[in-house]
């Protein structure tokens, strides 16, 4: 049992799980655009860059949260902080390797989200602040960057270079989904964000209203599918509907205190669930 828990901690807190989730979102878009799944430099970059960014986030974050080291997830991260540094190096090397293999247009369109991602986790602002330390904006940055790199870039890779109405709908839909599943993390982190003097949506409108906002985001995302028959089949639309319903149920559960596995494992895992549902229906 201890070995199983150690393995789960490695996957979750070594950031391999969230890297797999980002990869799943990229593969889902690739499947929608190309009707097949292929190991490409872009998919490798999505995994490695996510591993790098979240490892840096752990490294910087844990140094600022010494008052919370008795909590299990922070205790695990602190205990394996040296390992996480190694994962950051490996992720960075992998990201650089795959980046150099990408077409020039994808490289150029990666620049801005890449800079935002690094500034989100690394203290580049005055007063040793990160972008995530600015009130209210962190959840929007996550949603926009995730959507851009997992929708727009796979579209370019597949030859859909035009930034048309259908593409905007796809990016907006993905942004709303990521926004909805990120809100429970802000609910979980209310005490930590208060300690860091960072105001988030749940700290302003409360837990219940934040959940309602997440439900509305999922509902709007599903509504956008009806206007985007260029990419979704009927069965894929139904698969996404099931994904959004199950995600809404998990968000409902976030109103009560849960073990961090619920958030890191299940809430992030809704990205993999959605990808598998779309893949299954074909």
Tell me the pLDDT tens digit for each residue of 209-267. 999 999 999 999 999 987 776 778 889 889 999 999 999 999 998 877 678 888 889 99
Provide the pLDDT for residue 158: 92
What DSSP designation does 125 have? B
Provide the pLDDT for residue 74: 77
Cα–Cα nearest to 251, from 203, 195, 194, 202: 202
DSSP string of 218-267, one letter each residue: HHHHHHHHTT-TTT--HHHHHHHHHHHHHHHHHHHHTTS---HIIIIIII
Residue 209 sits at the vertex; the CA angle it makes with 113 and 120, to the nearest 5 degrees, is 20
CA distance 106 to 42: 9
CA distance 161 to 260: 39
Under 8 Å between Cβ of 91 and 100: no
Provide the pLDDT for residue 19: 97
Tracing tokens 């844990």 back to the chain, one arrives at 62
Model confidence at 3, pLDDT cuts 50, 70, 90, reads confident
Under 8 Å between Cβ of 59 and 84: yes
pLDDT at 282 > cutoff 80: no
Burial of 140 per CB tally in 10 Å (0-12, 13-18, 19+): middle
- The residue ranges of DSSP E strands in the chain, in sequence order, are none
What is the model's pTM? 0.93
Provide the pLDDT for residue 188: 87
H or E element in which residue 264 lies: none
Residues 140-161, mean pLDDT to the nearest whole number = 94
What DSSP designation does 265 have? I
CA distance 238 to 219: 13
The CATH architecture annotation of domain 2-281 reads Orthogonal Bundle (1.10)
CA distance 118 to 56: 8
Provide the pLDDT for residue 220: 96
Cα–Cα nearest to 207, from 254, 268, 149, 261: 254
Provide the pLDDT for residue 102: 96
**161-189 pLDDT, tens digit each:** 878 888 899 999 999 999 999 999 988 88
Model confidence at 123, pLDDT cuts 50, 70, 90, reads confident
């Amino acid at each position: 049992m201890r070995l199983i828990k150690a393995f789960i901690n490695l996957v979750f807190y070594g950031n391999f799980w969230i890297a797999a989730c980002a990869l799943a979102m990229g593969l889902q878009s690739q499947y929608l655009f190309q009707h097949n799944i292929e190991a490409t430099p872009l998919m490798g970059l999505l995994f490695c860059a996510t591993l790098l960014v979240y490892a840096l986030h752990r490294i910087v974050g844990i140094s600022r949260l010494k008052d919370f080291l008795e909590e299990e997830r922070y205790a695990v991260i602190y205990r394996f902080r040296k390992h996480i540094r190694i994962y950051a190096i490996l992720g960075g090397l992998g990201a650089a390797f795959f980046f150099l293999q990408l077409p020039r247009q994808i490289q150029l369109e990666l620049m801005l989200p890449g800079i935002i991602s690094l500034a989100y986790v690394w203290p580049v602002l005055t007063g040793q602040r990160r972008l995530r330390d600015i009130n209210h904006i962190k959840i929007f940055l996550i949603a926009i960057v995730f959507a851009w790199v997992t929708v727009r870039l796979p579209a370019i890779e597949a030859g859909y270079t035009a930034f048309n109405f259908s593409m905007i709908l796809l990016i907006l839909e993905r942004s709303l989904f990521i926004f909805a599943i990120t809100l429970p993390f802000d609910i979980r982190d209310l005490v930590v964000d208060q300690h860091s003097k960072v105001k988030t949506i749940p700290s302003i409108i409360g837990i219940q209203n934040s959940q309602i906002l997440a439900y509305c985001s999922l509902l709007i995302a599903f509504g956008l599918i009806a206007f985007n028959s260029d990419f979704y089949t009927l069965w894929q639309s139904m698969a996404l509907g099931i994904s959004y319903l199950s995600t809404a149920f998990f968000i409902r559960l976030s109103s009560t205190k849960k073990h961090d596995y619920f958030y890191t494992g299940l809430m992030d895992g809704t990205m993999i669930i959605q990808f598998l549902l779309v893949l299954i229906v074909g």
